[in-house]
Chain A
């Protein structure tokens, strides 16, 4: 069964450093998403991406964040200058459609620890 994959599974970085989180969405999916979950809190939407453009972003997704689809398979989230409060699990998700039947499938996540 196709699945979303993410690398690395765990990333430790120093405050102020740049990190890139990588995702390979399900191959026939066209819509891609990043979510994050701070320990003990709700899963929060960051950004959605379709046709090489951001289609929606949350207030969390400020100028420190960017997304890119550098090739036909990868989807990346970059945090330019990490802060302590960026420590969280970051989940990539993908879906075949948007709209009503928007079933999103999540990858295993990357645990980001900012020291």
Chain B
């Protein structure tokens, strides 16, 4: 069974701080890694994709991938109250996405 694990949270961060989210996966054949943001009652929204080891930055978001450790993370810099949501880690070996259970993030003003 291919698993993707995340800490469910909630991860509470003060406004302006850095939120750090982690994800581990079991399938060593995974090739692509994604972070989705999901507001309550809404659909997953793609915010980051990463395919090779190292860091990838996009605005206030940085994704980090370490395939040897089977670990992917997301940093949210200068956290805003609008970042309060559940963040889903998803991995794929090419077709279907396997999702983690998500980490709930609460940004407090």
Which residues does A use to contact B, with CB under 8 Å? 31, 33, 35, 41-45, 48, 55-56, 58, 89, 91, 98-109
User: Across the two chains, which residue of chain A brings its CB closest to B94?
Assistant: A99
> In the complex, A58 Cα to B98 Cα: how many Å?
11
Q: B22 to chain A: which residues have CB within 8 Å?
A: none
Using C-beta atoms within 8 Å of the partner chain, give the interface range for chain B: 20 to 34
How far is the CB of A74 from the nearest CB of chain B, in Å? 18
Contact across chains for B98 and A104 when beta carbons are under 8 A apart: no
A91-B43, A108-B42 are known contacts. Are A103 and B96 too (CB-CB below 8 A)? no
Q: List 13 A-B contacts (CB under 8 A).
A: A35-B97, A41-B101, A42-B102, A43-B97, A45-B96, A45-B97, A48-B95, A100-B32, A101-B32, A101-B49, A106-B43, A108-B43, A109-B43
Question: For chain B residues 22-74, which have a beta carbon within 8 Å of chain A?
Answer: 31-32, 34, 36, 42-46, 49, 51
Contact across chains for B32 and A107 when beta carbons are under 8 A apart: no
Contact across chains for B43 and A102 when beta carbons are under 8 A apart: no
How far is the CB of B98 from the nearest CB of chain A, in Å? 7
Q: A41 to chain B: which residues have CB within 8 Å?
A: 101
> In the complex, A107 Cα to B42 Cα: how many Å?
9
Contacts beyond the supplied A48-B96, A109-B43: 16 A-B pairs with Cβ under 8 Å: A45-B96, A45-B97, A55-B95, A56-B95, A91-B44, A99-B31, A100-B31, A101-B51, A102-B94, A104-B34, A106-B36, A106-B43, A106-B44, A106-B45, A108-B42, A108-B43
